[in-house]
């Protein structure tokens, strides 16, 4: 297996990260992906209470391997229990995307968590770097179908990265 920053940082056998798709992935999937040697993640639905996050984190941690959690930034102001549960669980990686992620970077990093966000344009990537994000995920145009109903700024294309 190739050695990369990803494999070294998280102790992975396989340089892959499972997508934290809210409503599709849960702690069981994250645990299975992690047990297979990659980094499993689960996505938190916007209306999920902190107790759900804590339960899924416990399941994901059951593999004994690193795992991650995906949060939707636009949902966090209305669901403070989500961030509290994530901070208590201390997963290896947290992805905060679709909205203003900046207020969540420092609390997560103080907890020892690697922070990721998605960027659909070069300017969004630069903003993520300025905010102190550890990992920037290049988001393609297909993400707009998922995020657009709640986050209308999610309009991206491959061309926006090449300007």
d(CA 112, CA 130): 19
Q: Within 13 A of 133's CA, how many CA atoms are on the CB side?
A: 24
Lowest mean pLDDT among 8-22, 50-64, 95-109, 134-148: 134-148
Confidence class for position 145, pLDDT limits 50, 70, 90: very low
pLDDT at 72 over 90: yes
Q: What is the mean pLDDT of residues 153-158?
A: 41
Rounded to 10°, the helix 80-89/50-61 angle is 20
Both tokens of 4, joined, read 């990369």
Long-range contacts of 12-15 (CB under 8 A, 24+ apart): 12/37, 12/38, 12/39, 12/66, 13/37, 13/38, 14/38
The whole model's pTM is what? Answer: 0.86
Q: Is 5-139 CATH 3.20.20.70?
A: yes
- Residues above pLDDT 90, as percent of the chain: 80
Write down the mean pLDDT value for the chain: 88
Q: Which of 41-45, 140-144, 145-149 has the lowest mean pLDDT?
A: 145-149
User: For the residues 51-55, what does the mean pLDDT come to?
Assistant: 98
Residue 112 pLDDT? 96
């Amino acid at each position: 297996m190739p050695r990369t920053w990803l494999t070294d940082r998280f102790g992975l056998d396989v340089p892959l990260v499972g997508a934290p798709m809210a409503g599709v992935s849960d702690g069981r999937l994250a645990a299975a992906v992690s047990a297979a040697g990659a980094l499993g993640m689960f996505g938190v639905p916007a209306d999920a209470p902190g107790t759900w996050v804590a339960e899924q984190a416990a399941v994901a941690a059951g593999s004994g391997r690193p795992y991650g959690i995906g949060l939707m930034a636009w949902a966090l102001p209305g669901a403070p229990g989500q961030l509290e549960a994530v901070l208590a669980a201390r997963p290896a990686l947290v992805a905060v995307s679709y909205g203003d992620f900046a207020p969540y970077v420092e609390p997560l990093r103080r907890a020892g968590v690697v922070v990721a966000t998605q960027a659909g344009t070069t300017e969004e990537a630069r903003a993520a770097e300025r905010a102190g994000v550890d990992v920037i995920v290049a988001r393609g145009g297909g993400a707009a179908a998922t995020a657009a109903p709640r986050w209308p700024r999610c309009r991206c294309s491959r061309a926006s990265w090449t300007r």
